[in-house]
Amino acid sequence: MNGKLSSILPGVPSIDLGVFPTPLEPAPRLAAAIGVAALHVKREDLSGPALGGNKVRKLELLLADARARGCDAVVTTAGQQSNFCRALAGTAAKLGIHCALLLRGAPPPVEGGNLLLDRLFGAEVRFLDVKDPWDPRAKEALDALAAELRARGRRPHVIHLPGESAGLGVAAWVGGALELDAQFAAQGIDPDRLVLACGSSLTLAGLALGLKRAGRRCRVSGISVQQPAARLVPWVVEAAARALPLLGPGPALEAGDFDMIDGFVGEAYGKPSPEAVAAVRLAGGSEGLVLDPVYTGKAMAGLAACLRDGRFAARGHVVFLHSGGTPGLFANVDALGGQR
C-alpha cells in the first residue's frame, strides 16, 4: 500500500501532507518493563510536518475541506499547548494559508513548547479565558474571530473539532486503522489490544470504527487524559456516526466496541502527573522513545497500571499509539528536569 489517504479513502478529498504509512515497531524492552508479552508502537510521532503527531492525518482532510470551500484562512480554538494548533499552524504555513488560533487561558509569562512553534509558523494568536473546550463561549469567540478576519478581507474556515469538523477527523483515523490492518497482515501479527491517549477522542473513534470494519478483533482502549469517560463514550459513538457518510458501506460503531478508561488525568488536564513523568522516563530509557507528560505519558502510565492490576492480560499483545506531542516535553521542563 502507498499509505496515502487518497487511496485508502477514495471518495474523500485530501491533501498529501504526512509521511505515511508511519512505522509499526516492536518495543521488547518496554514490553518487559511494563509486564506484557508483546508490545508494538505505532510511530505516529513520525508522521512528518511541523513535528508530526496524530493531527497530521486529520489535517490532510480538514485542510482539503478548507481549500475546497475556497478559504484562504483557518481559525480554531484549543488549549495553549495544543498539538493540534501547532500542527495546523505548521501545515497551513506550508500551504500558504493564514492561521488564526484562539488559545484557552491567560497569556503565559514564557511562550515555550507548542506555543513557541505556533509563533514560529506565523500564526495569529489570541487568548481566551475559558477552561472547558465544550464551553459555548469558545465557539462564540471562534465565530467572532472568523467575522473579524472576514472584515479584513480574508475567507476563513472555522475548524471546530468537538463540533462540525468531527466527522472528517474520525474518517482520517479510519484511514489510520486500515493502514494498521495492512501492517498487521504484512508483519504477520494479530494484536489483541490497541492503547492510546484520548482528548477529543476522534482518533479513538476512527481507529475503533476502522478496525471493526476491517474485521480485526483488536480491542481499542482509550486512556482519557481530559474528560470523564461517561461524557466521552456517547460522544465517540456520535462522532463515529458522523464519519459514516464519508465511508463506504459497513457497520457503525457501538459503545460496547471500545473501552474508555478513567483515572489517569492526574491533578488536571495538561498537568504532568508523577506516573506520567515516570512513564516518559521509562519509555526513553528502555527504547529511546520520546513521550510527553500530557498525552502519551499518561496513556503509557495507564497501560502499565492496567497490566499491573490485571485489567489487561500480561500474556497479551498490545499496540501503543505514539500520537506525538513531543513539544509538550519542552513546555514541562520543571516537571521533568529536576530529578535524576
Ligand X SMILES: Cc1ncc(COP(=O)(O)O)c(C=O)c1O
Smallest gap from residue 154 Cβ to ligand X (A) = 26
User: What residues are paired with 39 via a beta bridge?
Assistant: 318
Q: Give the C-alpha separation, 22 to 222, whole Å.
A: 20
CB-nearer residue toward ligand X: 158 or 205: 205
For residue 127, what are the contacts with CB-CB under 8 A and spacing of at least 6?
80, 102, 103, 104, 105, 106, 107
By Cβ distance, which residue is nearest to ligand X? 325
CB-nearer residue toward ligand X: 14 or 54: 54
**Which cell goes with 230?**
461517561
Tell me, letter by letter, the H, E, C secondary structure of 98-128. Answer: EEEEEEECCCCCCCCHHHHHHHHCCCEEEEE
Smallest gap from residue 106 Cβ to ligand X (A) = 20
User: What residues are paired with 272 via a beta bridge?
Assistant: none
Q: Give the C-alpha separation, 242 to 24, whole Å.
A: 28
Residue 82 annotated to the active site: yes
> Is 90 within 8 Å of 121 (Cβ atoms)?
yes
**Residue 244 gets which letter from DSSP?**
G
Binding interface with ligand X (CB under 6 A): 53-54, 83-84, 197-204, 295-296, 323-325
CB-nearer residue toward ligand X: 149 or 220: 220
Q: One of 6, 14, 47, 82 is an active-site residue; which one? A: 82
Smallest gap from residue 44 Cβ to ligand X (A) = 8
Smallest gap from residue 182 Cβ to ligand X (A) = 21
> Is 79 within 8 Å of 200 (Cβ atoms)?
no
CB-nearer residue toward ligand X: 149 or 201: 201
CB-nearer residue toward ligand X: 21 or 270: 270
CB-nearer residue toward ligand X: 273 or 323: 323
- Residues 193-212, buried b or exposed e (16+ Cβ, 10 A)? bbbbbbbbbbbbbbbbbbbb
Question: Which of 184, 203, 259, 180 lies closest to 3 in space, CA to CA?
Answer: 180
Smallest gap from residue 253 Cβ to ligand X (A) = 14
Question: Which of 60, 45, 37, 36 lies closest to 196 in space, CA to CA?
Answer: 45
Q: Residue 295: in which H helix or E strand, if any?
A: none
Smallest gap from residue 305 Cβ to ligand X (A) = 18
CB-nearer residue toward ligand X: 49 or 149: 49
**Which cell goes with 329?**
516535553
Q: Give the C-alpha separation, 80 to 101, whole Å.
A: 9
Smallest gap from residue 103 Cβ to ligand X (A) = 13
For residue 208, what are the contacts with CB-CB under 8 A and spacing of at least 6?
177, 220, 236, 240, 253, 257, 258
Active site residues: 82
